[in-house]
């Protein structure tokens, strides 16, 4: 599993948990975490993509 896949998996897990909790505060924090994990996944995917550095 690549780092990008790992972070996307964590984002998906946080979203699933957010749908299950009853506390609005906990749900909000889980969704924030999911967003952060998704951003990390995007960054890792960009780093892992071959040839992307040449166009930067």
Task: Show pLDDT as tens, one digit a residue, over the chain (56 residues).
Answer: 899 999 999 999 999 999 999 999 999 999 999 999 999 999 999 998 876 554 44
CA distance 20 to 54: 43
CA distance 50 to 41: 16
Give the CB-side neighbour count of residue 37, counting CA atoms within 13 A. 18
Q: What is the pLDDT of residue 53?
A: 54
Q: What is the pLDDT of residue 51?
A: 65
């Amino acid at each position: 599993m690549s780092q990008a896949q790992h972070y996307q998996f964590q984002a998906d897990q946080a979203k699933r948990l957010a749908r299950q909790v009853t506390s609005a505060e906990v749900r909000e924090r889980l969704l924030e975490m999911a967003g952060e994990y998704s951003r990390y996944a995007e960054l890792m995917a960009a780093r892992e993509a071959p040839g992307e550095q040449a166009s930067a």
